[in-house]
Amino acid sequence: MSENGVTTQESAQTETVQTPRVKKKRGDFRFGPTLGEGSYSTVILAREIASGREFAMKVLEKRHIMREKKVPQVEREKQVLSRLDHPFFVRLYFTFQDSERLYFGLSVARKGELLSKIKQLGKFDMECARFYTAQIVSALQHLHSLNIIHRDLKPENILFNDKMQIQITDFGTAKQLSDSGDEPRSSSFVGTAQYVSPELLKDKKACKSSDLWALGCIVYQMLTGEFPFKAPNEYLIFQQIVNCKYEFPENFDRDAKNLISSLLQLNPMERLGSASCGGYERLMEHPFFSGIDWENLANQPAPKTM
């Protein structure tokens, strides 16, 4: 597998230091506890011995990746992560490999997943939901400005760092659209049942707006503790999605209801936040976000209830 891709970011960081960077190696780190496990990787807390710095080291077994035909997915993840330099995304600092494994050195998001936090609290109060929805919107605005679609946005892929800021992760299924702006939709099925958009189910096409559908599902889940589209099996969940069949609890906040229904629009072009609907500017002006300081989001303390 190719090893280029992060060198630009690395050299950009060290522009003033003229020493050439050498590839790191496994022996440069002391490995600690496992932070997470996926189907194709394990994330382990690792301390770089020379600097004392900690990283979330994503370790992938080459044999497994090749056997499962996931090489393109791994390359895509590396390519996308190396383009991202924003406070609300996990950051890729370096990569290296040995004969058996690939290593991705990521920023550590120590405070767990948004999903665990929703489960722990049951649901979020309005202030918390507003704060984290704004962070996700700001992150998506950045991602989409780079013509990247996440395609599997869900509370399991939204982590928290020590400052309780979101850190979006898992770009294995992300899609880099061409920068020319043509090919606005990407094909091939990806995603998680509860957050999958109707356009993906109907014509196997995802677009930037598909991430906005997932956002609508996540806001609903933060405020109710439940999925908007819930059923005993995937087939029935998909039926509800393609018919946009979901309900709000009684006495649900009016602005939140309006925001969620504007995001959960069957037609991707009619979703608030999509280019055809005034883009992120209009989404950020929604009354649900009143009081949000968009310029300073990354420097604001998390709500106390977190």
Q: Write out 62-107 in H/E/C secondary structure.
A: HHHHHHCCCHHHHHHHHHHHHHCCCCCECCEEEEEECCCEEEEEEC
Minimum CB separation from ligand ADE for residue 72, in Å? 21
AA letter at 166: I
Which is closer to ligand ADE, CB of 171 or CB of 238? 171
Q: Count how many Cα atoms sit within 13 Å of the Cα of residue 230 in the half-sphere of its side chain.
A: 10
Q: Is 179 a catalytic residue?
A: no
Size of the site for ligand ADE (CB under 6 A): 11
Query: Shortest approach of ligand ADE to residue 112 CB, angstroms?
Result: 8
d(CA 163, CA 150): 23
**Least CB distance to ligand ADE at residue 65 (A):** 17
Q: Please tell me whether residue 36 binds ligand ADE under the rule CB under 6 A.
A: yes
Beta pairing, strands 29-37 & 42-48: antiparallel
Residues 162-191: x/- map of binding to ligand ADE (CB under 6 A)? Answer: -------x----------------------
Q: Which stretch binds ligand ADE (CB under 6 A): 104-112, 150-158, 196-204, 253-261?
A: 104-112
Instruction: Pick the catalytic residue from 28, 85, 152, 253.
Output: 152
As a whole number of angstroms, the distance between CA 252 and CA 220 comes to 10
Angle (CA) 57-141-204 rounded to 5° is 80
Q: Out of 44, 60, 80, 108, name the contact with ligand ADE by CB under 6 A.
A: 108
Q: Does 207 bind ligand ADE (CB under 6 A)?
A: no
Catalytic residue numbers, as ranges: 152
